[in-house]
Amino acid sequence: KKEKNIFMAAKGQQAMIFPGSGLFDKASNWIVAAEYVKTSQLFARCVANIDPAWLEDIAGDLCTRTYSDPHWEKKRGEVVASEQVSLFGLIIVSGRKVAYGRINPEEASALFIRHALVEGEVFRRFGFMDANLKLIAELEDLENKTRKRDILASEEEMFTFYQSRLPRPFYNIRTFTKFIKDQKDDTFLRMTKADLQKSHVDAGHLAQFPDTLAMAQGEFALDYHFDPGSKTDGVTLKVPADSTALVSKNKVEALVPGLFEEKIAALIKNLPKKYRVRLVPVQNTAARIAKDLPQNDTPLFTRLSEYIRNYYNLVIPASAWSDQDLPDHLKMRISIRDEKDKEIKSLRDLSKLGQFATTRPAAKSSAFEQARQQYEKTDISSWDFPDLLPDISLDQDDGFVRKVFLGLKPEGEKRLSLRLFKSETAALASHKKGICRLFELTYPEDIKAVKKDIRQDRRLRQIAPYFNGPDGFYDMIYQALAKDVLHKNIRTGTDYDAFVNKIRPQLYTHGQEVIKQVLAVGQAYDTCFTLIQKLSLKYKDRPLPFGVLTQVFNELKSICPPNFPELYSLERIRFLPRHLSCLAIRAQRAADNPAKENQKAELIAPFERRLQSVISGLSDASSEEKAAAVEDFYWMLEEYKISVYAQELKTRFKISPKRLDKALVNISTMI
């Protein structure tokens, strides 16, 4: 039916039901007419409703059949096509799915080979297919690693391999399965590397694309993907969600050895022109740097700046480097995974990794919990446990072999336990305190005697008011002693016994030495404080000397705060009195000749301003190396002050403006 009473007729004609017919305005979609009458138009007379499904059987060979969209259907396991049946130009069957093998065996067989065998789109695998697909995956991995597409044979070559080995056309799984079963051996369909590998990959070159990336606390799996423009292009580091804090940003920045030279070249091209022109030709420079650059856990930009400064006599501030415009494959992709190894989130901006680590709740690892039950111990009062391993490897079945660490842990006021830590740094810090607690629990009388010596020292009592009173001051002095003498990374019972036998007879002497050093600081502080107070009262009405004295007083409080025993190491405390004596000399000379002291201050001021600028630039993202270098510079500057204000005290090492400038340049190259 075309519309109400008008129908498409055979051979492209159009007919209308005769108005006098009983089916006029009542006909179904298909009718049969006994005769046509043509007047003003073609009329169908003597009509009746029919079911078009009857026509295919009735018409038989008069029907015309055409086929379209031949394709492989995995679920059905055969090649099918869409069939259309027409009778005298009228379509009586449309879009019927039929097996295509009997219709066009050659084309159906080609589709079967391409989809079922080459692409592996089958609901059941054959032994030869598993072997072939495994070999193909290995070669695809080589291509993804080396970022080349000339290693694996093309699909056309794989098609030819199968086609040349099959004795007849196959177009469904059923007959193919019977054929393989009858052969009793599928070796003739198994591919070899010679069949699939079109070019050789040097083993040494391939080794530059490892399957895992080793961190200090475990190994993370690496995936490679060569698909420029896709979000997964490049190298992907698979990180369990509860292990993001263990990822070393510095390790990740360096990618893998096979891409390191390319990344260095791209980074050099990103530099401002004034630096870039000094490093041409870029490829040669990048090759040399990649070959010689020390491999350590220092930030990449710091290592690059240091190397270039040493070998090219060119100072590049760390802030001049940028990876913002680098191609994605030169920036490691971090894939954060859940406990089922499913990706939760991915990122290439490493600065966001720390945010994820702090906001993501830690998942419980069954391997870690089992290890805790095996290794942990509570209520320890002596070394009655096995020697401590450097680390313990846990396979978490998610592509990540994690290292965990044993360490003693003080708990409460008197308790001590052996605990398992996920962080090596945390384990070491806790264990050193734990060794101290173990000694305190084992030899309480020795500790009691040391604390008594500190409390009963009359000289300490006299200086304690400068440092927030006696109770806290005495405790800080004991903790300074304990940190220096008892906080040790001892891992075996034998070493602990040797340590005890050595330290017990020396504990009193060590205690007296700490008291002596703290007293020296306190007495120098008292001398300087008293002098500044006296001179300030004397010159309170003279702005120039009073201003200098105020500055010296502020420096006194800064360099020797009330908590100096816990702030500084004993090594630093040993030299602190010299700096306090320098302040006292400055105070006296400021009173005697303030103008001259101001002239000396002008030598110091530029370095103090630069130090403050560097300190203000420090952040949570700054490396530990840079923070340590800034602290070293602070003490270098304090030593320089001695050379300017109090030459008679002598400096501990050679110091000059040139050395200070060099140290600042070094800091500028650090992240």
With b meaning 16 or more CB within 10 Å and e meaning fewer, what string describes 582-603?
A: bbbbbbbbbbeebeebbebbee
Can you tell me which residue has the tokens 């029907």?
63
3-state secondary structure of 153: coil
3-state secondary structure of 493: helix
With beta carbons less than 8 A apart as the criterion, state whether 435 and 487 touch: yes
Beta strands 234-240 and 333-337 are parallel
Domain residues of the chain, as ranges? 1-50, 65-207, 366-442
With beta carbons less than 8 A apart as the criterion, state whether 496 and 490 touch: yes
Within 8 A by CB and 6+ apart from 588, the residues are 531, 535
Question: In the predicted model, is pLDDT for residue 184 greater than 70?
Answer: yes
pLDDT at 2: 79
Per DSSP (E only), the strands in 56-132 are 63-73, 78-87, 90-99
Question: Which H or E element spans position 265?
Answer: helix 257-270
**What CA–CA distance (Å, rounded) separates 438 from 89?**
99
Q: Which two tokens stand for residue 145?
A: 């690693």
**What CA–CA distance (Å, rounded) separates 7 from 21?**
14
- The pLDDT tens digits for 295-313 are 888 899 999 999 999 999 9
For 538-597, give the secondary structure using H, E and C. Answer: HCCCCHHHHHHHHHHHHHHHHHCCCCHHHHCCHHHHHHHHHHHHHHHHHHHHHHHCHHHH
Q: Which two tokens stand for residue 404?
A: 């965990």
With beta carbons less than 8 A apart as the criterion, state whether 51 and 45 touch: no
Residue 644, amino acid: V
**What CA–CA distance (Å, rounded) separates 648 from 444?**
46
- The pLDDT tens digits for 26-37 are 888 888 888 888
Which of 208, 236, 210, 206 is closest to 139 using CA atoms? Answer: 206
Residue 594 CA: distances (Å) to CA of 42, 546, 579: 125, 9, 20
Measured in residues, the chain has a length of 671
Within 8 A by CB and 6+ apart from 455, the residues are 470, 474
Q: How far apart are the first and last CA of the chain?
A: 80
pLDDT at 622: 87
> Which of 27-31, 81-85, 185-189, 232-236 has the least mean pLDDT?
27-31
DSSP 435-470: HHHHHHHH-HHHHHHHHHHHHT-HHHHHHGGGGT-H
User: What does R_g of the chain's alpha carbons equal in angstroms?
Assistant: 42
**What CA–CA distance (Å, rounded) separates 384 from 451?**
27
Question: In the predicted model, is pLDDT for residue 363 greater than 60?
Answer: no
Residue 268 CA: distances (Å) to CA of 313, 361, 362, 512, 631: 16, 39, 39, 57, 30
Q: Which two tokens stand for residue 528?
A: 């300087």
**What CA–CA distance (Å, rounded) separates 187 from 203?**
28
3-state secondary structure of 25: coil
CA torsion 293-295-299-305 (nearest 10°) is: -10
Q: Which two tokens stand for residue 622?
A: 């700054």
- Residue ranges in 313-412 assigned as alpha helix (H): 353-359, 366-375
pLDDT at 401: 77
- The pLDDT tens digits for 259-272 are 999 999 999 999 99
pLDDT at 1: 61
Q: Is 484 exposed, middle or buried (0-12, 13-18, 19+ CB in 10 A)?
A: middle
- The pLDDT tens digits for 414-471 are 999 999 998 888 999 999 999 999 999 999 999 999 999 999 999 999 999 999 999 9
pLDDT at 245: 81
pTM of the full structure: 0.73
Residue 269, amino acid: K
Question: In the predicted model, is pLDDT for residue 361 greater than 80?
Answer: no
Can you tell me which residue has the tokens 């856990």?
297
